[in-house]
Amino acid sequence: MKTLAAALLAAATLSIALLPGVPALAQPAASPPAHDARNDWDFLMGTWRTHYGILRHRLVNNHDWYSCEGTSVIRPFWQGDGNLEDGDFACPKRYSRSVTLRLYNRTTHKWSLWWGSRKLGLVPPPQVGEFDASGAGVAAG
């Protein structure tokens, strides 16, 4: 009985809304223009000495880490719509070259981050997100 009453109420509401001369429901106010985030990674540009920690035994609840040292060189391109990080790191038992490609989408105002290495190439899918008002990175979802 309650379902029938709810359906009739919904139908009546829809019928009234479609009558000529009945004003449409108010639309929510337009949201402010999205932040132009092309410069959000500017703090990272340049050459950096890096330090990484890599688990000695992964996926076995082990907390013993290798210490790795490296260098990253980050350069912008496409007038700030992208940047490329060329990096390397040396660990006790391995040396690796890596790349991070960051691409800005002017329509969605989000960044896509692609990671890769010489061994693996670029590894899909990219991580997509943005920086919130406090400056924290937030994954899209």
pLDDT digits (tens, 9 = 90+) for 23-50: 444 555 545 556 778 888 999 999 999 9
| pTM given for the model | 0.68
Nearest-10 Cα torsion for 72, 67, 96, 127: -60
What's the pLDDT band for 17 if we cut at 50, 70, 90?
Answer: very low
* Rounded Cα gap, residues 37 and 104, in angstroms: 8
Please give the DSSP secondary-structure letter assigned to residue 80. G
Q: Is 3 left (phi over 0), alpha (psi -120 to 50) or beta?
A: alpha
pLDDT (0 to 100) of residue 62: 87
Write 48-57 long-range contacts (CB < 8 A, 24+).
48/72, 48/73, 48/74, 50/87, 50/89, 52/89, 52/91, 54/91
Query: Where would I find the H helices in 87-140?
Result: none
Domain boundaries, the chain: 36-134
Please report, as a single letter, which amino acid is at residue 57: H
